[in-house]
Amino acid sequence: MKLLLFLCLLVVGIHSNSYPYDGNIFFSPLSISTAFAMLTLGARSDTLAQILRVLHFNPREISENEIHEGYRQLIQMVNRKNEGLQLNMGNVLFVLDRLKPQQRFLNNLREFYEVLDFFFFLFFFF
């Protein structure tokens, strides 16, 4: 419940600081938390600890592997076809042009998060 409350507050904060818009906007707490969990596959040290803390995971209580396995199972449940209802979820990773994701990171994304293709949007700084 804490995680859901945090994600709702995060989304409201993001939206309230964006440009004015009168239409409906939908943010998926599942998609946001999944994106952060995916980032932990490549994070280390303080960055890893900070992401886990934001997601309310305590490394003393749950291993990284258990976290990713839990997300894998959740994604499988959500993606099951059920009475004509199907949910498709997508995330995008923006990478600096001078950085290249490690193969282990990419393999883990495939294994735990059912990532099929990798499209990295590169930022170029002048």
- What pLDDT, on the 0 to 100 scale, is given for residue 126? 45
> Where residue 118 falls among pLDDT bands split at 50, 70, 90?
low
| Mean pLDDT value of segment 88-94 | 73
DSSP assigned state of 21: -
Between residues 63 and 81, the one the model is more confident about:
63
Q: E strands of the chain, at which residues?
A: 93-96, 120-123
Q: pLDDT tens, 21-55?
A: 666 666 678 888 898 999 999 999 999 999 999 88
SS3 state of residue 119: coil
Whose structure tokens read 């490394």? 59
Question: Which of the residue ranges 2-6, 28-32, 100-104 would you say has the lowest mean pLDDT?
Answer: 2-6
According to the per-residue pLDDT averaged within each range, which of 10-14, 18-22, 43-47 is highest?
Answer: 43-47
Residue boundaries of the structural domains of the chain: 2-10+28-123
Q: What is the mean pLDDT of the segment spanning 45-71? A: 93
Which residue reads 């804490």 in tokens?
2
d(CA 76, CA 125): 38
- Say if residues 90 and 109 touch (Cβ distance below 8 Å): no
pTM for the model: 0.70
Architecture category of domain 2-10+28-123 in CATH:
2-Layer Sandwich (3.30)
Contact in structure between 7 and 33 (CB atoms under 8 Å): yes
Tokens standing for residue 2: 């804490």
Highest average pLDDT, of 35-39, 79-83, 115-119, comes from: 35-39
Q: pLDDT confidence of 75, banded at 50, 70, 90?
A: confident
Average pLDDT for residues 72-97, to the nearest whole number? 75
